[in-house]
Amino acid sequence: MERASKRVFITGIEGFTGRALESYLLQNAYSVCGSSLDGKNTTYQMDITNIDSVRDVLNDYKPDYIIHLAAISFVAHSDNEAFYRVNTIGSENILKVAKEISVKKLILASSAAVYGRREEAVLNESLCPTPSNHYGNSKYAMERVASNYFDESNIIITRPFNYTGIGQSDNFLIPKIVKHYAEGKRVIELGNIDVIREFNDIDFVCSVYEKLINCNCNSVTVNICSGRGVALIEIIKIMNNIAGYEIEVKTNPKFVRKDEIKKVVGSAEKLKSLIGNFKLKALEDMLKEMYEYYRKYQ
């Protein structure tokens, strides 16, 4: 049997992004497989902190492309050492084995958290990272380790900004808000609602990863962002209109970050130079889709 020409392996395929990306790539005629730590619903169980586990799995599947999403991403995770063991050392194991098996391209998911708390309102890739927590530091350490492989492997490092969509845990801000409306709740506790952030759609993120697979570029670091900043208060106003009632917003001091930056959005210029222009889903459409999903299935 002839081997499929575009075989993609996704680490962390059981996560929010992994599941959405798998579906997106399958719809676009890729052969897709992936791994998770427990392997319950995936083809492979793989511990990225164990290089033998990584080697066994990747040698078995023989991917053309790897999209490395597996990580500890909960900023308040209690085991600080685990951030580096998984996000940094685990990623180097992926880098080592990807080099051994000569994958065509390895895409590593870093994070916009590497920028830290900045005064600049628009963050571009030329800024020197100043991460402010262990999560951001572990991701930046991963980036520095990966740069040592630039001359030997085809690598793209991505820095995703905020994104959301159907399937994301309601521990995250936008699903939390939308679910409150879907359940008809009249009060919600939030932090500072005047801050401006990107709230991109998961479909946009998946389309970017697919285009990066095919773009003629390597040894680059690029934001996955739209440059579209939205004040949280605008999200509330849109949801008031979608749900047909006004929710009462109460400020909970524990959700207010000290010295929080008013506006944080990414520069999408470098991304556009790599993949071309892109069209964004209207914010109202994304929120309505999530609202209707919660109303129907939750």
Q: What are phi and psi of 185, to 5 degrees?
A: -70, 145
Considering the chain, what percentage of its residues have pLDDT values greater than 90?
A: 83
Rounded-to-integer distance, Cα 180 and Cα 242, Å: 12
Compute the mean pLDDT over every residue in the chain, rounded to the nearest whole number: 93
* Helix, strand, or coil (residue 189): strand
- How many Cβ atoms are within 10 Å of 255's Cβ, its own excluded? 13
Domains recognised in the chain with CATH numbers: 7-164+200-225 (3.40.50.720)
Q: Is the dihedral of CA 63, 66, 64, 49 positive or negative?
A: negative
What digits encode the pLDDT tens for the residues 210-266? 999 999 988 999 999 999 999 999 999 999 999 999 999 999 988 887 767 788 899
Find, among 45, 19, 49, the residue nearest to 32 by Cα: 19
Residues in the chain: 298
pLDDT for 43 equals 79
Two structure tokens written together for 137:
């530091």
Question: Does residue 3 surpass a pLDDT of 60?
Answer: no
Using left for φ > 0, alpha for ψ between -120 and 50, and beta otherwise, residue 210 falls in: alpha
3 state SS for 13-77? CCCHHHHHHHHHHHHCCCEEEEEECCCCCCCEECCCCCHHHHHHHHHHHCCCEEEECCCCCCCCC
pLDDT for 1 equals 34
What digits encode the pLDDT tens for the residues 279-290? 999 999 999 999
103 and 213 in contact (C-beta within 8 Å)?
A: no
Active-site positions?
A: 135
